[in-house]
Amino acid sequence: MSSVLQRRQQLLGDATLFYEDPIQIVKGDGVLLYDEKGKQYIDMYNNVPCVGHANPVVVEAMAKQMSTLNVHSRYLHEGILNYAERLLGLHHADLENIIFACTGTEASEIALMTARIATRGRGIICTDATYHGNSSEVIKMAIAASSGEPANAEFRAIPFPQKYRPLQQGLDEEALCELYLDKIRQAIADFEGSKIPFAGMFVCSIFANEGLPDIPGSFMAKATDIVHAAGGLMIADEVQAGFCRSGDFWGYETTGFKPDIVCMGKPMGNGLPLSAVAASAAHVASFRKATRYFNTFASSPLQAAVGMAVLDEIQNRDLLRQSAAVGAYMRNALKRIQADHPSMGDVRGCGLFTGIEWVTEDSQADQEGAIAVTNRLKEKGFLLSNAGILKNVIKVRPPLVFEKKHADQFLEAFKEIVKDG
């Protein structure tokens, strides 16, 4: 055991690490990471540095603002207003106001509170493989998902929609969609029967934690209609799905629905803690009146400067187009490899976000095999991880600056690994 690993365990306790043989990263540059021995890796996992590790434009914006001013939000500052205006302009028109925070968990907490205040309800529907953060309230969704039982009476976890391992085999897409929609209807009826007013549904727009399933095409739009008809609000978690990750700017555009509340986070600050919630002016006004919300480090000039620099890089480097093009190129190549390797049960995804479902000879989830592939790829210099309800999905989620040449290097290494078995 390395001295760094020993010190970590002594000081931080048994905190989670990636890989059977953990690595110590000391430097980043674009899509590249380097360990303490100088070994180079291609980062195919981290969506936080969406415009690249140590991006010089972002670093310059951060340094310039810090050398000038950084204060909390109880002073006037045009920078945060310009950023808010630009960010809202990227969303649909009904999202009129924004609340800034620092983490995805904080954004999820604000979104939950906003929905409950606006509807005067409490009941929240989530999926059975969800994760939206780790505050004492938000984590209840993950607990409900993992245990199959509500963490308390106010949360209901339903099966996430998917075509690869559907609730029932042999159904056409429309019938399968209705089967999953019925789970939403049942959860709403259950809240009603329990005399718990319904507040809404909280989902990742592309079901990232669920393993990026292909879903029935009209599911999200119809689910939103059902939620609205019951008096609830649809909350879209864009912490993983947003900022061009899905090949559209927002994941909700990819899956075809119009959320009432949107959470944003991870890639917004390219490493600087920055998150946000967007909603209608009326919903935000109700939230602010009921909570008197204030966050010392949110809505700061520093957040605004860095957030604007990230958006500048996305626009100036045409990263939305690149995400869609490079992601499609890589998935098409993986599907060609899949044709000769039945252990690759499914290849799916959108934009620069791909899931490779690893299976046994009888098509059962192969968590051990997926983890082994991830570890072997790490040894070859490619950093990925695993996801999905069965943890057998290899998660491919590189920074947006990942190019075709990087995809080709990965594909060559991947082919060698699956060939060796």
Average pLDDT of the segment spanning 380-404: 96
Where do the structural domains in the chain lie, given as residue ranges? 3-51+318-420, 59-316
Encode 206-218: b = buried (16+ Cβ within 10 Å), e = exposed.
Answer: bbbbbbbbebbeb
pLDDT classification of 2: cutoffs 50, 70, 90: confident
Provide the pLDDT for residue 150. Answer: 52
Assign 293 to helix, strand or coil.
coil
Mean pLDDT of 2-12: 89
pLDDT band at 152 (very low <50, low <70, confident <90, very high): confident
* Residues 179-227 pLDDT 10s: 999 999 999 999 999 999 999 999 999 999 999 999 999 999 999 999 9
- Give the count of beta carbons closer than 10 Å to the beta carbon of residue 14: 7
Q: Mean pLDDT score of the chain, rounded to an integer?
A: 95
Q: Are strands 393-396 and 155-158 parallel, antiparallel or unpaired?
A: unpaired
What architecture is domain 59-316? 3-Layer(aba) Sandwich (3.40)
- Per-residue DSSP letter, 398: -
Alpha helices in 249-300 (DSSP H): 251-255, 281-291
Q: Would you state the torsion angle of the CA atoms of residues 107, 113, 116, 118, taken in this order, to the nearest 10 degrees? A: -90
Q: Do the beta carbons of residue 45 and residue 397 sit within 8 Å?
A: yes
Smallest Cα–Cα separation from 230: which of 187, 267, 261?
A: 187
Q: Which two tokens stand for residue 328?
A: 């499609």
Task: Give the C-alpha separation, 60 to 409, whole Å.
Answer: 30
The tens digit of pLDDT for each residue in 232-289 reads 999 999 999 999 999 999 999 999 999 999 999 999 999 999 999 999 999 999 999 9
Residue 357: its H or E element: strand 353-358
CATH class of 3-51+318-420: alpha beta
What is the full DSSP assignment across 125-160? EEETT-----STTTHHHHHHHHHSS-SSTTEEEEPP
Reading the block at residue 129, the tokens are: 């493989």
Angle at CA 386, nearest 5°, toward 382 and 388? 150
Question: What is the reported pLDDT for 147?
Answer: 64
Query: Does residue 398 have a pLDDT over 80?
Result: yes
Residues 402, 43, 405, CA angle at the centre, nearest 5°?
Answer: 35
Predicted structure pTM score: 0.96
